[in-house]
């Protein structure tokens, strides 16, 4: 749709997008925000968001999972208001909120002895990759096909790749030097042999393996225990670091992240998204022996960033973590609602004779349009991408906000209820029936 087309519409959201395109490239500050209506959101509270035309949506997008407790959670917003009234950005020395946040993180994440604060998950993973290379003196990084670790050159490749580009060269952006792309190797999730093969092909050159413990950037691939434990043993044996990118899994599935659940401790952990319940903050944590390689402690790895440790964002993160510590039932509730959603979606597919598999973990869910089992990216290449997008778009049209991009996940927050889930499932059955009847879905078998 062109700017002229949008300008001619009466929709307030469409008009705002048209105005935005005059001053912002494409009208949005992140490409994944330009995926059709609603074009603009103007209010958010609890489990709901409202668009510029006054339409209310039950929100499962949740800002890619950054909203954990619900929009405008009073505990978090009150802490932010107090911080704004007391201390803003000073850029000198250290502030009490930074120290308190680091204390909480090192108490809750099992592998953490020290942490640094950043403003985004991409910054956190960039620091983790650079630190790994400095500590080991090695140039190469291993990531998994389908895993997303931010927009920086070291990892910006091979996420939701088309079948003809999967496992090959599939950069996310122009402008990345070929040698940067070539310094990151691609393995298959839940396939330890694919990682071993890379170590055999590049002996003593792999600095680290970086992984989403659950690759939520392609929905939800749940790792086998043998895979995670095998990675821990293999990286240790080969003198590499193991990085858990818990930007999405951290704080969402357990207070101590997925490492608390699986019992496997990485060398470095990145986290963000849900940590501040919508406020910009992320971080990197690990043992003191690694973290003291940062220049702030006299090491040779640059640590810089005017907004690192921002007291307002730190206050939001402290309030979020303290809420979770004081409400352990949060995890029981969101996990139970996630189970309820996945079971209901599976039942709807079975009832309608649709080839579908509800996947996820805790409060995260995705409906793949492919039959199980789905363990790695090769299995995801069987997913019906057109049906996946159609399902999310039609659910959004009915008032359930779901990102209409293939393989994207959905999130249940503390603000969602069992009634919300049941209402969603009722709508999902109807939507699945309509897209089946429109010939967009393959039958089972």
Q: Greater confidence, 91 or 216?
A: 216
**Res 445: pLDDT:** 56
Buried b / exposed e over 207-234, threshold 16 CB at 10 Å, is: bbbbbbbbbbbbbbbbbeeebbebbbeb
- The answer to whether 102 and 317 are in contact (CB under 8 A) is no
Q: What is the mean pLDDT of residues 423-442?
A: 93
Q: Greater confidence, 247 or 93?
A: 247
Other CB atoms within 10 Å distance of the CB of residue 55: 14
The tokens describing 225, both together, are 């225990």
* Bridge-based pairing state of the strands 400-401 and 410-411: unpaired
Task: Tell me phi and psi for residue 268, to 5 degrees.
Answer: -135, 145
Does position 373 have pLDDT exceeding 80, yes or no?
A: yes
**Res 32: pLDDT:** 87
Q: What is the mean pLDDT of residues 383-396?
A: 96
Q: Report the chain's terminal Cα–Cα distance, integer Å.
A: 38
**Res 34: pLDDT:** 86
Q: How far is CA 28 from CA 48, 52, 358, in A?
A: 21, 15, 31
Other CB atoms within 10 Å distance of the CB of residue 165: 14
**Res 8: pLDDT:** 44
Does position 420 have pLDDT exceeding 70, yes or no?
A: yes
Q: What is the mean pLDDT of residues 21-26?
A: 92
- 292 CB-contact burial (10 Å; exposed 0-12 / middle 13-18 / buried 19+): middle
Other CB atoms within 10 Å distance of the CB of residue 94: 10
- The answer to whether 38 and 46 are in contact (CB under 8 A) is no
**Res 88: pLDDT:** 81
The tokens describing 127, both together, are 């620091």
Q: Which of 32-41, 99-108, 409-418 has the lowest mean pLDDT?
A: 32-41
Q: What is the mean pLDDT of residues 10-16?
A: 88
pTM comes to 0.95
Dist. CA 219–CA 364, nearest whole Å: 8
Dist. CA 169–CA 283, nearest whole Å: 29
- The answer to whether 146 and 103 are in contact (CB under 8 A) is no
**Res 93: pLDDT:** 87
Does position 4 have pLDDT exceeding 50, yes or no?
A: no
Secondary structure element (H or E) that encloses residue 140, with its range: strand 140-144
Query: For 324-354, how does the pLDDT look when each residue is reduced to its tens digit (9 = 90+)?
Result: 999 999 999 999 999 999 999 999 999 999 9
Q: Greater confidence, 247 or 444?
A: 247
Domains along the sequence of the chain with CATH:
20-71+328-437 (3.90.1150.10), 74-326 (3.40.640.10)
Query: For 170-198, how does the pLDDT look when each residue is reduced to its tens digit (9 = 90+)?
Result: 999 999 999 999 999 999 999 999 999 99
Query: For 198-227, how does the pLDDT look when each residue is reduced to its tens digit (9 = 90+)?
Result: 999 999 999 999 999 999 999 999 999 999
Q: What is the mean pLDDT of residues 385-411?
A: 96
Q: What is the mean pLDDT of residues 87-116?
A: 93
Q: What is the mean pLDDT of residues 291-312?
A: 95
**Res 3: pLDDT:** 43
* Bridge-based pairing state of the strands 241-246 and 206-211: parallel
DSSP per position, 200-255? HHSTT-EEEEEE-SS-GGGS--PPPHHHHHHHHHHHHHTT-EEEEEETTTBTTTBT
What percentage of the chain has pLDDT greater than the value 70? 97
- The answer to whether 315 and 150 are in contact (CB under 8 A) is no
């Amino acid at each position: 749709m062109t700017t002229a087309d949008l300008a001619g519409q009466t929709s307030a959201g469409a008009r705002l997008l048209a105005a935005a395109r005059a001053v912002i490239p494409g009208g949005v500050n992140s490409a994944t925000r330009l995926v059709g209506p609603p074009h603009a959101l103007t209010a958010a509270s609890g489990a709901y968001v409202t668009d510029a035309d006054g339409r209310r949506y039950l929100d499962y997008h949740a800002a890619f999972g950054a909203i954990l407790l619900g929009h405008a959670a009073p505990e978090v917003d009150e802490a932010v208001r107090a911080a704004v009234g007391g201390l803003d950005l000073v850029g000198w020395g250290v502030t009490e909120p930074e120290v308190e946040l680091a204390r909480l993180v090192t108490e809750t994440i099992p592998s953490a002895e020290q942490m640094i604060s950043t403003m985004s998950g991409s910054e956190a993973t960039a620091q983790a990759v650079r630190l790994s290379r400095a500590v080991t003196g090695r140039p190469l990084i291993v990531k998994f096909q389908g895993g997303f670790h931010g927009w920086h050159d070291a990892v910006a490749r091979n996420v939701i790749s088309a079948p003809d580009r999967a496992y090959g060269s599939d950069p996310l952006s122009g402008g990345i030097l070929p040698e940067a792309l070539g310094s990151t190797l691609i393995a298959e999730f839940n396939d330890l042999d694919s990682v071993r093969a890379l170590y055999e092909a590049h002996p003593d050159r792999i600095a680290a393996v970086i992984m989403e413990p659950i690759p939520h950037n392609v929905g939800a691939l749940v790792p086998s225990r043998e895979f995670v434990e095998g990675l821990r043993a293999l990286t240790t044996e080969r003198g590499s670091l193991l990085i858990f990118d818990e930007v999405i899994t951290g704080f969402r599935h357990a207070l101590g992240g997925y490492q608390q659940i699986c019992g496997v401790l990485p060398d470095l952990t990145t986290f963000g998204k849900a940590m501040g319940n919508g406020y910009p903050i992320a971080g990197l944590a690990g043992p003191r022996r690694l973290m003291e390689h940062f220049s702030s402690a006299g090491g040779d790895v640059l640590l810089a960033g005017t907004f690192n440790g921002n007291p307002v964002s730190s206050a939001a993160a402290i309030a979020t973590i303290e809420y979770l510590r004081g409400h352990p039932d949060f995890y029981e509730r969101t996990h139970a609602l996630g189970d309820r959603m996945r079971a209901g979606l599976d039942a709807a597919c079975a009832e309608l004779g649709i080839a579908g598999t509800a996947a996820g973990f805790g409060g995260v869910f995705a409906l793949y349009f492919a039959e199980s089992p789905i363990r790695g990216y090769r299995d995801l290449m069987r997913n019906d991408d057109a049906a996946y997008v159609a399902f999310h778009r039609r659910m959004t049209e009915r008032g359930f906000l779901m990102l209409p991009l293939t393989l994207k996940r959905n999130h249940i927050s503390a603000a969602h209820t069992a009634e919300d889930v049941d209402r969603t499932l009722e709508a999902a059955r109807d939507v699945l029936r309509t897209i089946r009847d429109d010939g967009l879905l393959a039958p089972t078998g």
